[in-house]
Amino acid sequence: MKVGFRMNLFSLFQELKSKIADRSALVTTVGLGYVGLPLALTVHEEGFPVLGFDLNESRVTRINAGEQVISYFAKDRIAKAVASGRFSATSDSARLAEADIITICVPTPLSDEREPDLSYVLRAAEEIANWLRPGQLIVLESTVWPGCTATKLRPILERSGLKAGRDFFMGFSPEREDPGNDKFNTKSIPKVVGADDEHSLQLLQQFYSAVVDKTVPVSSTATAEAVKLVENTFRNVNIALANEFKRALSAMNVDVWEAIDAAATKPFGFMPFYPGPGVGGDCIPVSPVYLSWRARDVGSEMPIVDLSRNTNEDAPCTMAARLIALLKDRGVNAASAKVLLLGITYKRDVEDTRESPALALLNQLELQGIGAVDYHDPYFPVMPVTRDHPHLAGRKSVPLDSAALSMYDLAVVTTDHDVVDYEAVARDSRLIVDTRNVFKKKKLAVSGNKLVKL
């Protein structure tokens, strides 16, 4: 009986290994957002047939029509993939049974209580479990806490009657996407892979080695899960430190960006991080919460991480209060003030508002009594329904002409999109606060004392 078991496992392993080697393995990516779609396209471009799965039928239809659903993609990237006949999308969960490899790339946001929300992962696991068959490789890429793959994903998949490491293979590989980055992409960013049995780890490494330039195997799924949290928590802590530098150095009449740039010339022992209105996206604000939550769950604590997280989460509220104080110093009453925010996305040149500090700032300005707050963002002519601030949906981006700019008591650069006419902002605005140092980076002079550093 034991020999038969080993032969069956070996047979399943060899079959999938062979399919990966000749690139005949059908790969299905569950979730076609800013992580799943780039991964699915890269896997296709490396020679594998790909079927994307998403419950958003509108997005599936647009992808199958070859539309450029993500702005920083090459305009014809999706259309070329669809035209090849080896790439398509579906919202039919029954087709998960066709896949040889399934990668899960769904959101793992924070709950209203600012705790880990695994609902998307658990729902994906349940859908896969309904169609799971022997020999499939299931890979979770979504950000989760260490131990989640083994204790949350695996039991759901095993409800099918199949067992991980015996009937199907399972592992974790943290996504490392950086939307809009023109230096690194899915293929060139090293891929960490981890599994809890040797056959799964070998298959993970073989598959991702066929897709990306370098893989980094680690000893377990928990270690791979921890890698992502360590990376993003490191950034969160250092961004909080950069904002602390800004407040202190500004009080000393020192330009924080100049000081950081000069410090960055040291060839060792320093890495530059820059201040801003807060942190955004589904990584940097989220990972520290998952890590700290899990630490408490196992009887530990992370006070430095918690402090930096709270500092960054409070940044929009703190910024709003400072902007109101600035207006008061200039003789402008908050109740009658008009403020224009330049950019509502969390990041430059990307149409993504997840955890955007600009939206949090807009909300805080209104809560703290500013009379009117408008925004300009070429990526969102109309404010979408956002996860964090759905009540702001429907607002419209205002134009950046002389007449419009001169109407506002204050213009605040919250997101430094390249396509914004900063010369007009410098020329026609009454008062400017630049949270991104964009005027200095673009070497734009601002007359008088209307450019303020907070």
Place of tokens 């007449």: 403
448 - beta bridge partners?
Answer: none
Contact yes or no for 203/20 (Cβ under 8 A)? yes
Contact yes or no for 353/346 (Cβ under 8 A)? yes
> Is 283 among the residues known to form the active site?
yes
Report phi then psi at 71, rounded to 5: -65, -35
Report phi then psi at 129, rounded to 5: -60, -30
Please give the span between the terminal C-alpha atoms of the chain, in angstroms, as a whole number: 72
Contact yes or no for 396/340 (Cβ under 8 A)? no
User: CB neighbours (10 Å) of residue 336?
Assistant: 11
CA–CA separation, 214 and 212 (whole Å):
6
CA–CA separation, 233 and 211 (whole Å):
27
Short-list 239, 191, 269, CA closest to 347: 239
The active-site residue, picked from 105, 148, 283, 317, is 283
CA–CA separation, 67 and 58 (whole Å):
11
CA–CA separation, 186 and 178 (whole Å):
9
| Rounded alpha-carbon distances, angstroms, from residue 230 to 144, 145, 284, 453 | 12, 11, 10, 32
CA–CA separation, 29 and 42 (whole Å):
11
The number of helices, as runs of H, and strands, as runs of E, in the chain is: 16, 13
Strand intervals (E) in 95-204: 101-104, 137-140, 169-172, 191-194
Place of tokens 């293979």: 169
Alpha helices in 368-449 (DSSP H): 402-405, 422-428, 438-441
**Active site amino acids:** 283
